Each structure stands twice: as C-alpha cells, then as structure tokens.
Amino acid sequence: MTKNVVTVDRATPVSEIAAILLKNRISGVPVVTEDRHVIGIVSESDLMHRPEIGTEVRRSWWLRLFSDPDRMAREYTKSHGLRAEHVMSRIVVSVSADADAGDVAAVLDRNHIKRVPVLEGGRLVGLITRSDLVRALAGAEIGKPVARNGNGAVQKALLEKIAAQPWLSSTFLTAVVDGGVVDLWGYIGSEEQRQAVYVLVEEVAGPRKIRDHLRRFDEAA
C-alpha cells in the first residue's frame, strides 16, 4: 500500500490534474475534502475526451434525437469541465485498512479498476494499485513446494489438492508418486485441464518428472 498518496481537491484545475498524473507517473488520483474524505477519483479515462485535444465525443444528429438529455449534459460537464469536481468519477470503490491481498485483488478485478483507495474511519490512509500486487508477487517465492518427506506424504498432498479443485472430476483421476516421478492416471475433460493438472503437480511436488497416462472423457468411447 502507498501511504503518501497524491491527491487533489474538488477545485483543482483539470490542466493541473493532467500535469500531476504525468509528473508522478500515475494513472489516477483521489479527490479529497479537507478532512481526507474521498469524494471522487480522476483517472486518465476521465480526461480522454476533451475538445482541447480534439477527442470530444460527437454524436450524429439522429442519435442525439434518441439520446437522454441528462446523459448528454453529464457528458458535456465531463468533457468541458474545468475542475476536478466536474470530471471526477463520483462512485468510489474502496477497501478497508484491514483488507487482505486476496480481497483487494478481487475488488480490482470485479470492478475493472487499476487502483483502490484504502479507508479507515471513512478517511483516506493509502492507495493500492495493481502494480503494488505485482511488486508483492515479485518478492514472493513462486512455485516452491512445501517440504514433505517420503512418497506417501507427497502423494497424499497431491490427492488432497486434486480433490479440492472444482474444475476436476477427482473421482476419475489419481496420482502415484515414486521418487522423482509422478504418474497421472485417469480421465480429464479437456487439454486445459491437463495443463492445469501439470501446474498443480509442480506446485505441490516440485518440478518432478510427470508421466502422463491421462485420457480425455471424449476419447473413452
């Protein structure tokens, strides 16, 4: 989480917001009140359609006949507005300060956004971006299996992992571990499932040799 968040207030000029985004190499900025309550977000997409750069949305006359006047008024305000309060997105998706990484990733993904304000008591205390999650991943140990002694322990862990996957028909699939070799037996639904099973084996058992005896259900006839 970034704690020193770059912010603007409702009266910040659009030209200044654009300069702030460029200077700080960020794609969006929260709009806050004096007591740090978030009232909106201005992102690059909010500044895209402007008459100054020839990108204002233009509708043909016959489309204007069927367009909602209020919607057109909102579009005019956003494209011609001079201050943050005119162009900002007012629906602010946020997370609490105690949200874990999984919750944050789900919020970003579900709402198709790149950043999310972190609030505590309704006030801004930080900002989490997709880049923050990638940085966390860069510092994590990826693909390192938990140490397990003996073929039996590895095989048990594999079968439990297989049984936990909603995309697998685990009744029809099993794994046998013998030293550095994992034999896969049974049936799968698709080649995508086959690839995912390989990843699962490497995740649990490490980069061992995999002997694939799997068949697809559509080949069983």
Residues 113-154 have pLDDT tens digits of: 999 999 999 899 999 999 999 888 887 766 666 666 788 888
7 in any annotated domain: no
Count of structural domains, the chain: 2
The parent domain of residue 162 ranges over 151-219
Phi, psi of 29, deg, nearest 5 = -145, 135
6 in any annotated domain: no
87 in any annotated domain: yes
Strands 38-43 and 28-32, bridge-based pairing: antiparallel
Model pTM score: 0.69
- Rounded to whole angstroms, the Cα distance separating 164 from 159 reads 9
- Rounded to whole angstroms, the Cα distance separating 5 from 118 reads 10
Q: Exposed e or buried b for every residue in 51-74, given b needs 16+ CB within 10 A?
A: eeeeeeeeeeeeeeeeeeeeeeee
The yes-or-no verdict on residue 61 having pLDDT over 60 is no
184 in any annotated domain: yes
133 and 191 belong to one structural domain: no
Tell me what pLDDT residue 144 has: 66
159 and 207 belong to one structural domain: yes
| Between 57 and 90, the higher pLDDT residue | 90
Residue ranges with strand state E in the chain? 28-32, 38-43, 95-96, 115-120, 123-129, 173-178, 181-188, 209-216
Residues contacting residue 54 through CB under 8 Å, at least 6 positions apart: none
25 and 130 belong to one structural domain: yes
Could you write out the DSSP letters of every residue in 46-95? GGSS-GGGT------HHHHHHS-HHHHHHHHHHHH--BHHHHSB-----E
The yes-or-no verdict on residue 18 having pLDDT over 80 is yes
Boundary (domain end) residue, out of 117, 138, 159: 138
97 and 190 belong to one structural domain: no
Grouping H, G, I as helix, E, B as strand and the rest as coil, residue 9 is coil
82 and 172 belong to one structural domain: no
202 and 112 belong to one structural domain: no
116 and 172 belong to one structural domain: no
- State pLDDT tens for residues 63-109: 565 567 787 788 889 999 999 999 999 999 999 999 999 999 999 99
57 and 102 belong to one structural domain: yes
33 and 133 belong to one structural domain: yes
The yes-or-no verdict on residue 2 having pLDDT over 80 is yes
Return the CATH number at 203.
Answer: 3.30.1340.30
The yes-or-no verdict on residue 55 having pLDDT over 60 is yes
133 and 48 belong to one structural domain: yes
- State pLDDT tens for residues 160-211: 999 999 999 889 999 999 988 999 999 999 999 999 999 999 988 887 899 9
